[in-house]
Amino acid sequence: MKDQELINLINITKDYVIGDVVTKVLKGIYLKVKRGEFIAITGRSGSGKSTLMNLIGLLDTPTNGSYILEEADVLKFKEDELSDLRNRKIGFVFQSFNLLPRSTVLENVILPGIYAGVDKKTREEKGRNLLLKLDLLEQESKRPNRLSGGQQQRVAIARALMNNPDLILADEPTGNLDIKSGQDVMRLLKKLNREGKTIILITHERDIAKHAKRVIELIDGKIS
């Protein structure tokens, strides 16, 4: 249901310690995200964008603060619980696609379903339906290196949708694409948002950030 709070970050900080050197990357982040929003997080290199995405995506934990996801304080979860939550609730789309080169397109798409324990027949049927939706069904038996960059990113988006997550995190999803392919990916993300998906987009490109409904700028580890 839209207007429900999906994410609440409360005074999130993140420090990296190497020897006696402490680097403060995030310096007190407060952020609320409602279900169905499309948010772009932007900022210069080194501003903390990727660190914040990793925290939201449960790939890392903050030094201090609280992270409430669907009313649950996820920082109290054990590692296996976090892994299960991440697989069920969050879909990832990366700049470098992160597809398995020796697996077919279909095998890449259904991978999250394997981790979620979905039976083979069901996950392959769902995977093919996603490929059909993204105009990729004819490519299902190909290896990723036989596809264009835009096609590979659409495969990555299909994979992100496999477990029907509440949240899609897209980290510089157009960074390795030409202008037309990048525009196609952004149209697809906007379409998914209209269908109800919550999307958080990480980008340093202002033209890409403009596709979002709300733009948040990070400056030196803080939301400006």
Angle subtended by helix axes 105-115 and 120-133, to nearest 10: 130
Domain spans of the chain, in order of start: 5-223
As a whole number of angstroms, the distance between CA 168 and CA 184 comes to 17
Query: Which pairs from 85-89 meet CB under 8 Å and 24+ separation?
Result: 85/58, 86/57, 86/58, 86/59, 87/112, 87/115, 87/116, 87/163, 88/116, 88/163, 88/165, 89/165, 89/166, 89/167
pTM equals 0.91
CATH code, 5-223 = 3.40.50.300
**One digit per residue, pLDDT tens: the chain, 224 residues?**
567 999 999 999 999 999 999 999 999 999 999 999 999 999 988 899 999 999 999 999 999 999 999 888 998 999 999 999 999 899 999 988 999 999 999 999 999 999 899 999 999 999 999 999 999 999 999 999 999 999 999 999 999 999 999 999 999 999 889 999 999 999 999 999 999 999 999 998 889 999 999 999 999 999 98
Contacts of 199 (CB under 8 A, 6+ apart): 37, 38, 39, 167, 168, 170, 189, 192, 193, 212
CB 163 within 8 A of CB 90: no
- Total Cβ atoms within 10 A of residue 128: 17
Element containing residue 121 per DSSP (H, E): helix 120-133
